[in-house]
Every structure is written in structure tokens, then in C-alpha cells.
Structure 1
Amino acid sequence: MTLSYTRAGSGWVAAIGPIRLHLDDRNGAVHPAQAAVADAMAGSLPELRATAAAYLDLFVDRHKACGDDAAAWWLDEVEFRDHPASDPLVYALHFTLAGDEGGLWTVDMRVGVDGHRPIRFERRQG
């Protein structure tokens, strides 16, 4: 599936359903390597979301974070984070957790020959 991109500030934005994807600019156009990964994500976003959420669950006690063991990780957006020339590509999945007011949970995913793998997470309070 080829996504449709629109200019957003100094980058580009596409959407897979309600999820916005933020990509870098390369000489006035969407970064081609990032666009290729984003286009491929369209068919696998539910699986990537599940992989990233399972990675968060390795480290995060949801009961302590928000008071609810069963609270869902809500995927809000995807952001390609590295410099446009980075190889391999890394992108971030940004999640919120109901009950964790102002918390933004991020999982960085690396694109490799064996698929997309989580490599780190962080939480920011906003």
C-alpha cells in the first residue's frame, strides 16, 4: 500500500487509519527509505503495535503506572527519529496509557533484515 503524504512543517505526515506517521524531508520530498518502511507498515501496524506493547510490558508495571493492570497501550503516532541518512532506519511508536495523565511512552524500533525489533523505551511526562 502506498500512503499519501502531506507537508507538515519541515517534514511530512501520512496516516494509517487514525495513526499519524511523521517522516523526514529529503530535498523537498518525503525521505524515500522512510516512505518505503511506512508503506510496508500499513499492512503490519497491528502486529508492530503488539510487539512494541509487549516490549513495554517487559519493563512497566501498568498497575503502578496507572492503577489498572488491564489498561491498554494506545498507539497515538509513529515518528521516524533518526537523521534521514541513518542506516538502519529507526522509528518510534508513541503510546499513551489511560490513567497515566500526561505520560507519553515511546518504543524505538529498528528496521533490520530479520524484521522490526524494539531496541529501547522511554517515558516522558508532558
Structure 2
Amino acid sequence: MGPAGWVGRIDHVRVYLSDENGEASRAQAAVADMVSESLPALQDAASTYLDTFVDRQKACGSADERWWLDEIDFRGHPDAAPIAYSLLFTLHGDDGGLWTVDMRVFEDGHRPFRFERLQG
């Protein structure tokens, strides 16, 4: 994760924004507002993206287990275009696993472009 000097919340989900001269990055904050307005749809898109590559039955023992969104991290440089952010998920039964879906912001919407799994 990159520098995350500002922490907020969207419901139960922690949101990390980069620090920009003592303030939250304005560009990232603007995208965070958009994410907040459409979080269920973005969460569904990221979950569907994970399901394209991950067999939940093998990963946690249950094909029906839900992806739990825990954090949103704006780890890219605040001036990068397009802005990227990450949705971080856990999967009950996958002890210590953290699943990340990276999203990019385009004029026509937010799209997943990469995922990773970390073991902690």
C-alpha cells in the first residue's frame, strides 16, 4: 500500500486516501465520493471479477461464501491518470487471505483490471 495519511469510512468499510500537503488528496477524495455513491455496484463488479479467476470452493471450502469488502485503498499516485484504487476483500474460511481488486476510473465507469491475494 502507498501512503495513506487520511482514513475515512463508507458504512463499515475503511477508506484510505493519500496525504497531499497535509490534506486529503482532492482527486482521490472526489473519486471516493463517486465510489460511495455506487459502492454496491462496484463491490458486485469486483466480486464478479474475482469469481472469474477464483474457485471459492477451493479457496475457503464453500462455493457460496460471500466476498466481504473490508477496505478501499487509493494506493496510486494522486496525480496519476486514470486514478486507480483497490477494493480489499476477505473470504471466511480462507484464514489470513486478503484479496485485492484494483479498479481504474474512466469517463464511462470504474473497471477492475487486476487482482491479487496476500497471505497474512
Q: TM-score range by the shorter chain?
A: over 0.9
Match of 2:20 among 26, 51, 56: 26
Structure 1 runs (4+) greater than 6 angstroms displaced: none
Aligned length: 118
Q: How far is 1:24 from its partner?
A: 0.3
Q: How far is 1:10 from its partner?
A: 5.5
Cα distance in 2 between the residues matched to 1:28 and 1:88 = 23
Q: Which runs of 5+ in 1 are unaligned?
A: 1-8
- Name the structure 2 match of 1:6: none
- Name the structure 1 match of 2:44: 50
Identity %: 59
Cα distance in 1 between the residues matched to 2:116 and 2:26 = 27
Q: Which runs of 5+ in 2 are unaligned?
A: none
Q: TM-score scaled to structure 2, two decimals?
A: 0.95
Q: TM-score scaled to structure 1, two decimals?
A: 0.91
- Name the structure 1 match of 2:34: 40
Q: Which has the higher contact order (CA 8 A, sep 6+)?
A: 2
1:89-123 Cα shifts (integer Å, max 9, x gaps): 00000000010000000000000111000000000
1:12-66 Cα shifts (integer Å, max 9, x gaps): 0111110110000111111000000101222210110000000000000000101
Verify: 1:87 aligned to 2:86, yes or no: no
- Name the structure 2 match of 1:121: 115
Structure 2 CA distance for partners of 1:124 and 1:10, relative to 1, 3 Å: closer
Match of 1:70 among 49, 64, 70: 64
Cα distance in 1 between the residues matched to 2:4 and 2:106 = 27
Cα distance in 2 between the residues matched to 1:94 and 1:82 = 15
Across the aligned residues of Structure 1 and Structure 2, the Cα RMSD in angstroms comes to 1.1
